[in-house]
Copies of this chain bind each other. A is one copy, B any other.
C-alpha cells in the first residue's frame, strides 16, 4: 500500500468524519484524487465502514466481560459463532488457540443481565463458559500504527 493511502487511512481512523477537503490538505493531493482513493480503499476492503465511538456507560451498558467458550461435547459440529450471532450483547467473537475455542466480548447493563446472557450463550451453543469481568478500561480501540517504518 502506498504512502498516500496510509496517510488517508490514518486520517480517517483518527477522525472518521474528516472532510475530503481536509484530508486532501493533510495528504497533499487534490480533493478529487483523495476522493477517488478513498473510494478505492473502500472497494478493496481496506476501509470497511465508519462508526461513531460511544460511551457504554452513557448507553447504560456499564458492565463489560470476556467470556471464554468451549463446547460441552467436543465431538459435535462446532458452529458456535452462528449460533451466538443473534445475541446483541456479544460485541465481538474471536476464534482462539488454546484450551478455549472462542473468546466473546460482552456488554450488558447489570450482573443480572450478564447471568441471563451467559445462560443464553450456554443453551444456544451447547458450550461451557468461563467469564472474566472488566473492572475498568484504561484504553480501548486505539488506531493501529499505519506506516510500516521502524519504531
Enumerate chain A interface residues (CB-CB to B < 8 A): 1, 9, 12-17, 44-56, 58-61, 64, 66, 81-82, 85, 88-98, 100, 102-103, 107, 132-146, 148
The dominant DSSP class at the A interface is: mixed
Report the bound CA distance from A51 to B141 in whole Å.
10
Report the bound CA distance from A93 to B66 in whole Å.
13
Whether A52 and B52, one on each chain, are in contact in the complex, defined by CB atoms closer than 8 angstroms, is no
- Given the interface contacts A81-B138, A95-B138, does A51 sit within 8 Å of B13 by beta carbon? yes
Contacts of A59 in B (CB 8 A): 1, 9, 46, 144, 146
Contacts of A81 in B (CB 8 A): 138-139
Whether A46 and B55, one on each chain, are in contact in the complex, defined by CB atoms closer than 8 angstroms, is yes
Whether A135 and B95, one on each chain, are in contact in the complex, defined by CB atoms closer than 8 angstroms, is yes
Which residue of the partner chain B has the closest CB to A143? Answer: B51
